[in-house]
Amino acid sequence: MPRFLLRVLLLVGLLPALSAVPEAWPGFRGPGGQGIAALEARPPVRFSPTENVAWSTDVALGNSSPIVWGDRIFLTAFAEGQCFVLCMDRQTGRQRWRRGFPATEVEEVHRSLGSPASATPVTDGRHLIAYFGSLGLLALDLEGQELWRHPLPLPQTEYGSSSSPVLHGNRVYQLLDQDGASRLVAVDLRTGRNVWTVERPEMRRGFGTPVLWERPGITDLVVPGTFWLIGYHPDTGEERWRVSGLSRITCTSPVIGDGLLLTSSWTTGGDRTADRITMPRFDEILASCDADRDGMLTFEELPEGAVKQRFKHLDGNRNRLVERAEWESMALIFSKVENQSFAVAPDAEGRISDSGVLWRFKKGLPYVASPLLYRGRFYQVKNGGLLTCLNPRTGFPFFQEERLDAPGDYYASLVAADGRIYAVSQHGVVTVLKAGDAFEILARNVLGESVHATPVPVADQLLIRTASRLQVFRESTSIRP
């Protein structure tokens, strides 16, 4: 058989399989967790509650982002003591099913911004995995039937949990960094049974989501945490490498591309300024504040200030006392951390270490919104609505802290589609920018409700979860009742 004919037949044989692959945004920040839409995606540039609305519907409260598999949208929520998983029709907004799971004890969350439904679910087209800090991991099929549960302890942080589950092969990975007993768990996708657990005692509360970094001959599970970015073997949990440079509390997720691994993180008290948080030696604080001379410190015994405000962060074992080990661990963290962005590349043998860091950049850093690597440019948005664009190989700023004229905090992560960047403020203003070296705003869209969830660009749609609604925008449509 002629070689060219064989190639044609192979291609024809592949066509049915290729056409069967659905449009998908399968987990937090889409394919690979990178925040980049498919090449053919054409979401709208201009939209509002009355312009280019395909549909809009009320949903129960939650901070998780929607995900998409074909004609289905999956979403989590929390109401009246129950954790909910919902499935909606992507074209009409009609609810296909809703499953509620009562929580015996609800995790503590931020009093005004938090939600017990903050982790974004993930799917492979057969399994739907959701994580709730109040329950643990849940697996459903795409019709909403429960497949298994993997209970996990309540998170030890007053802000709740938000790190999203990650799928790879037959494994589900869940990061559980908190004030005490931090760990990374892997469970079997088919059964929900534990495969391995890695204890992370040096990590003190974190909210980022891991990513998979596939390189020639190797795949790393890249996990952010206090001070360290760590690469684990996805099959065994063995630590392969670590790179220093993350903040004290890491809310962002790293990004990957062009052979590089890039990340940004910022937390209060980590800059080398007058606002930097420092802690005295434990013996010094005991001498002046330990009224009952028991060698430990209660909340009442601590002096007013930045350290006392972080009492729960210090009290990792939740015994309402700050012990020597807890104090010294946190003091070491405060002394070492640096807020920054950086890029790291493997050496000639494929090894990852601090010596492979190409650059470090300490301006315009995001707090919660994960950065974006798109078309050879690295973008990050700082609270207040300040956008920075860097060369990913050199750290050179193409532009730095340009104002979006959409102030407020930024909890939604950056996403990209069709040569455009979407940045969403907590106040519900979506700024659309042209990707490239120059700072160019294409549109500024006001939604009229707060937004914490990351938007989803799929095909010709843009899905955005606001405080009380799920809204789907598409060009040249009018609002539907």
Q: Which domains occur in the chain, in start order?
A: 41-61+364-481 (2.40.128.630), 64-161 (2.40.10.480), 162-267+338-362 (2.40.128.630), 282-335 (no CATH)
- How large a percentage of the chain has pLDDT more than 90? 74
β-pair partners for 24: 69
Residue 219: phi and psi, rounded to 5, are: -130, 125
Does the pLDDT of residue 148 top 60, yes or no?
A: yes
Residue 343 one-letter amino acid: A
More confident residue, 63 or 327: 63
Does the pLDDT of residue 192 top 70, yes or no?
A: yes
Residue whose tokens read 């080398």: 272
Residue 410: phi and psi, rounded to 5, are: -125, 105
Does the pLDDT of residue 22 top 80, yes or no?
A: no
d(CA 20, CA 375): 28
Coil, strand or helix at 357: strand
> What does the pLDDT average to over 156-178?
94
What is the reported pLDDT for 48? 96
Lowest mean pLDDT, pick from 66-70, 219-223, 292-296, 315-319? 315-319
Does the pLDDT of residue 224 top 50, yes or no?
A: yes
Does the pLDDT of residue 477 top 80, yes or no?
A: no
> What does the pLDDT average to over 346-372?
95
363-420 pLDDT tens trace:
999 999 999 999 999 999 999 999 999 999 999 999 999 999 999 999 999 999 999 9
β-pair partners for 402: 387
Lowest mean pLDDT, pick from 137-146, 263-272, 350-359? 263-272
d(CA 146, CA 30): 24
β-pair partners for 423: 431
Does the pLDDT of residue 67 top 60, yes or no?
A: yes
Does the pLDDT of residue 9 top 70, yes or no?
A: no
What is the reported pLDDT for 21? 56
pLDDT band at 273; cut points 50, 70, 90: confident
> What does the pLDDT average to over 45-72?
96
Query: Are 77 and 62 spatial neighbours (Cβ–Cβ below 8 Å)?
Result: yes
Query: Are 159 and 109 spatial neighbours (Cβ–Cβ below 8 Å)?
Result: yes
CA of residue 458 relative to chain centroid, distance: 19
